[in-house]
């Protein structure tokens, strides 16, 4: 399974009260390192932990899955050391 580093733009803020409208709003940059468990032309899904399938009872599993739209990605680098 491939490992990847991704720098991406994330949404920011979600207020639960009335507030004054500002003249400045911004997004935040996030960084993620993990295992690529899904990838297509719209999104990449990265997990922080994975378990390979061990027949006959345990299917492949992932934990801490983050799905990131490719349009939000600033840069990425595959971390394959083999």
pLDDT computed for residue 15 by the predictor: 79
Residue 61 in tokens: 């599993």
Q: What is the pLDDT along the chain (82 residues), one digit of tens a residue?
A: 899 999 999 988 777 889 888 888 888 999 999 999 999 999 999 999 999 999 998 999 999 999 999 999 999 999 987 5
Give pLDDT, residue 66: 95
The 3-class secondary structure across the chain, one letter per residue, is CCEEEEEEEECCCCCCCCCCCCCCCCCEEEEEEEEEEEECCCEEEEECEEECCECCCECCEEECCEEEEHHHEEEEEECCCC
pLDDT at residue 41 in the model:
98
* β-pair type (43-47, 49-51): unpaired
């Amino acid at each position: 399974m491939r490992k990847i580093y991704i720098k991406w733009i994330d949404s920011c803020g979600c207020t639960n009260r009335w507030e004054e409208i500002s003249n400045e709003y911004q997004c935040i940059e996030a960084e993620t390192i993990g295992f690529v468990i899904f990838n297509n032309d719209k999104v990449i899904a990265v997990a922080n932990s994975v378990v390979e399938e061990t027949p006959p009872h345990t299917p492949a599993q992932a934990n801490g899955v983050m799905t990131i739209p490719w349009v939000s990605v600033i840069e990425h680098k595959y971390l394959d050391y083999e």
